[in-house]
């Protein structure tokens, strides 16, 4: 009788563990975008939309959270208000495990940057400028932007080089 009880407990424990493990696997998958994909995140990411990359449409990027700040840039006239997802929120959403980002633009320009550096500097992946969606003509649909006016150390060639516009993909290594 003791052997049967032990076997029954083991079977029940296995069944319960398997049942509870299934939603964890499903939770690691992000919802597939319904709209036009504007961003692909690949590399060392734990959560994807298809098992290899995380794809986002505009609504999916916006859903990750928003931060707004005003700053000047070398590419715009006067102070501009940017709204976008904090890089930290994007990193968290995809479960990034790497240390660097390679951000690539529509024209294949790319810039490699340390994740901790861009997070500490307060970078966002901007999707709005002055309350309007960024168009490709206005350096959109996504633009890595720093609060350049908040810290003089951000107004350097290094950080300007990190400010990739017309972002199409981010690879995490």
Tens of pLDDT, residue by residue over 21-57, are: 433 344 478 999 999 999 999 999 999 999 999 999 9
Dig out the tokens for 113 from the structure: 């940057």
What per-residue confidence (pLDDT) applies to 28? Answer: 77
SS3 22: helix
Parallel/antiparallel/unpaired status of strands 124-129 and 80-86: antiparallel
pTM: 0.83
Q: Which residue has the tokens 């969606």?
A: 133
């Amino acid at each position: 009788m003791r052997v049967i009880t032990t076997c029954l407990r083991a079977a029940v424990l296995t069944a319960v563990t398997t049942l509870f493990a299934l939603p964890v696997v499903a939770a690691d998958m992000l919802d597939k975008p319904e709209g036009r994909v504007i961003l692909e995140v690949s590399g060392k990411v734990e959560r994807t939309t298809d098992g290899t990359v995380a794809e986002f449409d505009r609504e999916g990027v916006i859903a990750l959270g928003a931060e707004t700040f005003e700053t000047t840039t070398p590419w715009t006239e006067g102070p501009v208000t940017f709204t976008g997802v904090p890089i930290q929120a994007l990193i968290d959403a995809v479960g990034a495990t790497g240390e660097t980002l390679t951000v690539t633009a529509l024209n294949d320009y790319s810039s490699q940057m340390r994740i901790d550096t861009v997070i500490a500097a307060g970078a966002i992946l901007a999707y709005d400028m002055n309350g309007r969606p960024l168009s490709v003509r206005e350096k959109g649909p996504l633009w890595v932007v720093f609060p350049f006016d908040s810290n003089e150390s951000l107004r350097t060639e290094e950080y300007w080089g990190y400010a990739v516009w017309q972002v199409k993909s981010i690879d995490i290594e």
